[in-house]
């Protein structure tokens, strides 16, 4: 982890009201994320991963505890802290260029053009500026989504299973593309997944959550350089450690 703390969760718990009872989703989350760090949040379905992103993103308030970014408590959304979901977020009636430029319309035209072309080039969509989403593959649509997020020069990016709708080979390509982009821009990334391999391939640290109410079951470092060898002993050992923390058997 880098020495400067970017995001800090302190004693974060979240309970949703539910008819006559209540549903506790997160319990006492303490976590610090360094500036420019890539952290994966890994856990079973329903353990509160998306809720945690909604809290740090300013869409939900914690029931107890607090979240700070750069030392300031998060109370609302912020234009430079963006979410990337699955490809469904892009507008089908708008071209690649128009989808990507959505967040930078306030800039003067020439500056806007420079920013938009820069991120389109960065995500590998050069030449497709005028194309419409229906003309693009799933992976390309996801690149549009990433480009749109990058256009606002984000300092923190929240990614909620962004590659979940893609086939397994495209997912692998998108992961290595994301690493290339992250290394170029170095935003802080909080990436939610329930895919153990995805977490090991991407993260510098993997935060493992227990089943609901989500608690931190353990934090695992992935001290491997990119490109990572998926057949290495080190990769296998980290995978075993993560499965153990998740309480999942590895033989079927
Ligand atoms: N606004 C809300 N009101 C009430 N309950 C909610 C709300 N948001 C989430 N929940 C509940 O909180 C629990 C955790 O949901 P969340 O989406 O955070 O889990 P998750 O770990 O991201 O799951 P998945 O991996 O399946 O997306 C679920 O039981 C969900 O129904």
pLDDT along the chain (252 residues), means of 10: 86 92 95 98 94 96 97 94 84 96 92 96 95 94 93 95 89 92 94 96 97 95 96 96 90 74
Is 0.90 exceeded by the ipTM? yes
Q: What is the DSSP letter of 210?
A: P
Q: What is the DSSP letter of 48?
A: S
Tokens read off for 21:
């009872």
- Residue spans of the domains in the chain: they are 34-60+72-80+155-251, 93-153
- CATH architecture assignment, domain 34-60+72-80+155-251: 3-Layer(aba) Sandwich (3.40)
Which residues does 91 contact at the CB level (< 8 Å), separation at least 6? 98, 99, 133
The three-point CA angle 178-184-186 to 5° equals 85
Q: What is the DSSP letter of 87?
A: G
Q: What is the pTM of this model?
A: 0.94
Pocket of ligand 1, candidates 15, 40, 46: which has the most ligand atoms within 8 Å of its Cβ, to mutate? 46
- Which class for 179: exposed (0-12), middle (13-18), buried (19 or more C-beta within 10 A)? middle
Instruction: List, chain by chain if needed, residues with CB within 6 Å of any ligand 1 atom.
Output: 16, 23, 25, 43, 45-51, 194
- Which class for 142: exposed (0-12), middle (13-18), buried (19 or more C-beta within 10 A)? buried
């Amino acid at each position: 982890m880098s020495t400067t703390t970017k995001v800090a969760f302190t004693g974060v718990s979240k309970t949703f009201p539910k008819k006559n009872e209540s549903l506790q989703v997160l319990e006492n989350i303490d976590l610090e994320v360094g500036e420019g760090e890539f952290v994966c949040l890994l856990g079973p379905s329903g353990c509160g991963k998306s809720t945690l992103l909604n809290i740090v993103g300013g869409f939900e308030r914690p029931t107890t505890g607090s979240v700070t970014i750069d030392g300031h408590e998060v109370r609302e959304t912020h234009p430079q802290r963006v979410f990337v979901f699955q490809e469904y977020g892009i507008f089908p009636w708008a071209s690649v260029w128009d989808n990507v430029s959505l967040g930078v319309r306030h800039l003067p035209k020439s500056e806007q053009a420079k920013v938009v072309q820069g991120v389109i080039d960065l995500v590998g969509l050069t030449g497709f500026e005028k194309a419409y989403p229906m003309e693009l593959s799933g992976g390309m649509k996801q690149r549009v989504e990433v480009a749109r997020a990058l256009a606002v020069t984000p300092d923190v990016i929240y990614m909620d299973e962004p590659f979940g709708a893609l086939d397994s080979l495209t997912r692998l390509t998108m992961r290595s593309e994301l690493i290339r982009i992250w290394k170029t821009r170095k935003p802080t990334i909080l990436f939610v997944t329930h895919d153990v391999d995805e977490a090991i391939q991407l993260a510098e640290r993997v935060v493992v959550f227990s089943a609901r109410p989500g608690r931190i079951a353990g934090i695992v470092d992935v001290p491997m350089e990119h490109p990572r060898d998926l057949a290495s002993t080190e990769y296998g050992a980290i995978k075993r450690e993560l499965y153990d923390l998740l309480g999942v058997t590895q033989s079927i």
